[in-house]
């Protein structure tokens, strides 16, 4: 049982390019409702999926510096693309814990001993090869097939699930993946689990892994192990780098953000 100390009552920061990371955040709030949380959506720079590594490292540093100023005990990189392209470059530069979604989940998924794992992700995540690298680190014999799905984020953001184009694109990517005969397929982008209603038309639903569940369990047990659980908090604040109204509107897909988020270091400063 954790004892209360100064450090464990500090807030935890989350970030993503936009609202997608709220899928992880929503799960986290359900499992750990007594944590004080901050969420930053980098709307000035979204989408992250088509950005260069240098750009993504720059965005991550700016956000981590912001969270340093907020005196957080940990930061959750709730974005696969940022975990893939920026985490390695920034991980040793801060004195709080940083939890990247890919590296945290790959460890757990690799321990399940599957031989053939598929990954759907953004172009930047696939280009990094980090899912393959991390899975192989813990299970050398695993075969991994990564497929980029650049159209899926806009389909979810705009709730176009029933458009002919959306259904045809999902069918195309799922059929491509099924040729690999995967035992499991990781939905390696925060938005993709929201496409399951379409994906399951073309492959069995239990083939797919939503990393958010594994990720939150991983963070919880690590906070516990390090005596960092907060037992008395529960507050939340939201921040964006642009378009607070759009953030609040789109957040509804993932989580109910009641108040307009505060705009901090807008676009001109970020770039
Ligand atoms: N949230 C990002 C991820 O998990 C995808 C959205 C974007 O491209 O900005 O990779």
pLDDT digit string (tens) for the chain, length 271 residues: 444 567 789 999 999 999 999 999 999 999 999 999 999 999 999 999 999 999 999 999 999 999 999 999 999 999 999 999 999 999 999 999 999 999 999 989 999 989 999 999 999 999 999 999 999 999 999 999 999 999 999 999 888 999 999 999 999 999 999 999 999 999 999 999 999 999 999 999 999 999 999 999 999 999 999 999 999 999 999 999 999 999 999 999 899 999 999 999 765 444 4
Alpha-carbon gap, residue 223 to 126, rounded angstroms: 29
- 114 and 64, same domain (yes or no): no
Contact 15, 79 (CB under 8 A): yes
- 239 and 251, same domain (yes or no): yes
Residue 13 lies in a domain: yes
- 66 and 159, same domain (yes or no): no
Structural domain ending residue among the three candidates 193, 211, 229: 211
pLDDT score recorded for residue 270: 45
Helix (H, G, I), strand (E, B) or coil at 211: helix
The pair of three-digit structure tokens given for residue 193, joined into one six-digit string: 């689990």
Helix (H, G, I), strand (E, B) or coil at 262: strand
C-alpha radius of gyration, the chain, whole number: 18
Catalytic annotation present for 105: no
Residue 139 lies in a domain: yes
Position in ligand 1 atom list of the atom nearest CA 82: 10
- 87 and 178, same domain (yes or no): no
Neighbours of 226 (CB within 10 A): 14
33: CA distance to ligand 1 center in Å? 25
- 71 and 163, same domain (yes or no): no
Residue 243 lies in a domain: yes
Residue 221 lies in a domain: yes
Structural domain ending residue among the three candidates 167, 183, 211: 211
Ligand 1 site, residue 110, Cβ cutoff 6 A: no
Contact 77, 93 (CB under 8 A): no
- Provide the residue range defining the domain that includes 187: 104-211
- 129 and 169, same domain (yes or no): yes
5: CA distance to ligand 1 center in Å? 35
For tokens 């986290």, name the residue.
Answer: 28
Overall domain count for the chain: 2
* CATH code assigned at 78: 3.40.50.1860
For tokens 């953000």, name the residue.
Answer: 257
- 71 and 145, same domain (yes or no): no
Position in ligand 1 atom list of the atom nearest CA 20: 1
- 108 and 206, same domain (yes or no): yes
pLDDT score recorded for residue 13: 98
Residue 270 lies in a domain: no
Catalytic annotation present for 189: yes
- 205 and 110, same domain (yes or no): yes
Ligand 1 site, residue 49, Cβ cutoff 6 A: yes
Residue 269 lies in a domain: no
- 152 and 71, same domain (yes or no): no
DSSP 145-204: EEEE-TTHHHHHHTT-TTSHHHHHHHHHHHHHHHTT--SEEEE-STTGGGGHHHHTTTS-
Contact 215, 102 (CB under 8 A): no
Contact 40, 15 (CB under 8 A): yes
- 95 and 220, same domain (yes or no): yes
Residue 123 lies in a domain: yes
pLDDT score recorded for residue 5: 61
Residue 268 lies in a domain: no
């Amino acid at each position: 049982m954790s004892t209360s100390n100064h450090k464990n009552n500090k807030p935890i920061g989350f970030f993503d390019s936009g609202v997608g990371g709220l899928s992880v955040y929503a799960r986290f709030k359900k499992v750990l409702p007594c944590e004080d949380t901050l969420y930053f959506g980098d709307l000035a720079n979204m989408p992250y999926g088509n950005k260069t590594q240098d750009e993504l490292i720059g965005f991550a540093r700016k956000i981590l510096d912001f969270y340093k100023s907020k005196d957080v005990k940990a930061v959750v990189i709730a974005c696969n693309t940022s975990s893939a392209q920026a985490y390695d470059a920034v991980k040793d530069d801060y004195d709080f814990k940083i939890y990247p979604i890919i590296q945290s989940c790959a460890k757990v998924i690799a321990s399940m001993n599957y031989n053939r794992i598929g990954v759907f992700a953004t172009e930047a995540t696939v280009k990094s090869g980090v899912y393959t690298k991390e899975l192989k680190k813990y299970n050398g014999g695993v075969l991994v097939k990564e497929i980029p799905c650049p159209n899926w984020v806009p389909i979810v953001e705009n709730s176009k699930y029933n458009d002919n184009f959306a259904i045809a694109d999902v069918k195309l990517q799922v059929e491509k993946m099924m040729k690999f005969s995967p035992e499991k397929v990781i939905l390696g982008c925060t938005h993709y689990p929201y496409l399951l209603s379409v994906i399951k038309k073309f492959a069995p639903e239990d083939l797919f892994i939503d990393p958010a569940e594994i990720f939150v369990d991983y963070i919880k047990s690590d906070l516990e192990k390090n005596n960092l659980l907060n037992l008395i908090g529960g507050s939340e604040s939201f921040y964006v780098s642009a378009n607070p109204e759009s953030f609040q509107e789109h957040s509804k897909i993932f989580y109910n953000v009641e108040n307009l988020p505060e705009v901090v270091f807008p676009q001109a400063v970020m770039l």
